[in-house]
Amino acid sequence: MSTTKGLEGVIATESSISSISDDQLTYVGYQIDDLAEYCSFEEVIYLLWHKKLPTKTELNSFNKSISTNMFLPKEIIQHLNTYNLSTVHPMAVLRSTVSLLGLHDPEIDDMNAEANIRKAIRLQAKMCALIAAFSRIRSGKEPLSPKEGLGYAANFLYMLRGEEANQLEIEAFNKALVLHADHELNASTFTARVCVATLSDLYSGITAAIGALKGPLHGGANEQVMRMLTEICEIEHAIPYIKQKLNNKEKIMGMGHRVYRTGDPRAKHLKKMSKQLTEMIGQPKWYEMSVEIETFIKQEKGLPANVDFYSASVYHSLGISHDLFTPIFAMSRTSGWLAHILEQYENNRLIRPRAEYVGPIHQSFVPLTERQ
Ligand SMILES: CC(=O)SCCNC(=O)CCNC(=O)[C@H](O)C(C)(C)COP(=O)(O)OP(=O)(O)OC[C@H]1O[C@@H](n2cnc3c(N)ncnc32)[C@H](O)[C@@H]1OP(=O)(O)O
Ligand SMILES: O=C([O-])CC(=O)C(=O)O
């Protein structure tokens, strides 16, 4: 047997959801640049789940199903109120609360394809209400109900802030959701597929995926990027700070990717938004500092910025707390996780690779009473 550390380059499944071959990202064959420019997040969710773009009628009906399912069971709000939310990471809260949401879904163990779509709609819809409610409760505010007539991106910002966002903010946030929605067999998506390949339920798959996304080598990097920018604080400190990190053999968050070599095709969109939005809030330094770091790391290490790098200054400019960056990634990626879960169920086989045993062999057993 031969092993590949981190399963690099291993093709573990077939999928017709998204592709990242040749440093190009497509969802069901559509270029990410077109989807980011022209589509609502809901349109993209529909595309990922049904593997076709919706007609106007299909999209209207899908939008309605999403918005009418955004309400949270009152027990979930009560649950959120039982914790000291200022001391726990929102990703841990999200992971636990999504699991709890499963207990409120009467169809949790119904594996019928239509029941799975209904559950997917409920979970995707509740995800944005959940993150917004958490954020409000921990700041001592009442959670808000979704506002009729607002789309997913606009409703999230409304439920988070208590007032409607402006058009530039809504468009930027919608684009960020589209860009993060799916990404082939990344670590959290693989986790979701492994979990449901045992024929476990959809909530288990999403709960497991949230756990995998939380780590700083994956979705957790966006929060760490903002932490780094905040520590650097002034543009003239950026390069000395990065040089010191590299001397200490530390990784620069938001840089590098397992698959992309020339660049992450999502980064240029987020970079453009970062410029616009940091200017809008009168803090262009976050963008300028990011560009300095990106250029330096490219020169020194040949590493490209990934999706997490510029999303940090984008979310910061939208007034979002830094520890909500990864939950927002999860909110978007839930659409991709659900698409992969549905695809896995459609053509399932248990996922069970092998490990090459490299431990000791032929050991002589020594009873406990004789062990030194
Ligand atoms: C949504 C996402 O998940 S995108 C990724 C988000 N994660 C991050 O931004 C965290 C920072 N980046 C990284 O840790 C890595 O680039 C990963 C995890 C994304 C990909 O890693 P891998 O393909 O496993 O590469 P690996 O970690 O083995 O690195 C290969 C080499 O590049 C270096 N390297 C990779 N990324 C970085 C980085 N961000 N900063 C500095 N050096 C880096 C490593 O130190 C290593 O160098 P060495 O061979 O001299 O030891
Ligand atoms: O594909 C990966 O390994 C990580 C990534 O960029 C993503 O999940 O969006």
Q: Say what the pLDDT of residue 86 is.
A: 86
**pLDDT tens, position by position, for the chain (372 residues)?**
678 999 999 999 999 999 999 999 999 999 999 999 999 999 999 999 999 999 999 999 999 999 999 999 999 999 999 988 888 999 999 999 999 999 999 999 999 999 999 999 999 999 999 999 999 999 999 999 999 999 999 999 999 999 999 999 999 999 999 999 999 999 999 999 999 999 999 999 999 999 999 999 999 999 999 999 999 999 999 999 999 999 999 999 999 999 999 999 999 999 999 999 999 999 999 999 999 999 999 999 999 999 999 999 999 999 999 999 999 999 999 999 999 999 999 999 999 999 999 999 999 999 999 999
> Which of 257, 269, 316, 340 is an active site residue?
257
Distance CA 139, CA 123 (A): 24
Query: CA-CA distances (angstroms) from residue 167 to 150, 154, 157?
Result: 12, 9, 11
Q: Is 121 in the pocket of ligand 1 (CB under 6 A)?
A: no
DSSP character at residue 30: E
SS3 18: strand
Alpha helices per DSSP H over the chain: 32-38, 41-50, 56-68, 74-81, 90-103, 113-138, 152-161, 167-180, 187-196, 202-213, 221-232, 238-247, 267-280, 285-301, 307-317, 325-346
Q: Are 18 and 333 in contact (CB under 8 A)?
A: no
Cα of 12 to ligand 2 centre, how many Å?
15
Q: What amino acid is encoded at 110 in this protein?
A: D
Give 188-251 as a DSSP string: HHHHHHHHHTTT--HHHHHHHHHHHHTSTTTTTHHHHHHHHHHHH-SGGGHHHHHHHHHHTTPP
The verdict on ipTM greater than 0.90 is yes
Q: What amino acid is encoded at 200 in this protein?
A: S
Alpha helices per DSSP H over 139-186: 152-161, 167-180
The residue assigned the tokens 């999209």 is 59
Cα of 253 to ligand 1 centre, how many Å?
8
**pLDDT tens digit sequence for 218-248:** 999 999 999 999 999 999 999 999 999 999 9
Residues flanking ligand 2, CB < 6 Å = 183, 186, 257-259, 306-307
Q: Is 221 in the pocket of ligand 1 (CB under 6 A)?
A: yes
- Whether the predicted model's global pTM rises above the 0.90 cut: yes
Residue 237 among the catalytic residues: no
82 contact partners, CB below 8 Å, separation of at least 6:
none
C-alpha atoms less than 13 angstroms from C-alpha of 253 in its C-beta half-sphere? 19
| Nearest atom of ligand 2 to the alpha carbon of 187 | 3
Mind listing the domains of the chain with CATH numbers?
29-214+335-346 (1.10.580.10), 221-317 (1.10.230.10)
Q: Say what the pLDDT of residue 1 is.
A: 66
DSSP character at residue 19: E
**pLDDT tens digit sequence for 33-48:** 999 999 999 999 999 9
Q: Give the number of the ligand closest to the Cα of residue 256.
A: 1
Residue 308 among the catalytic residues: yes
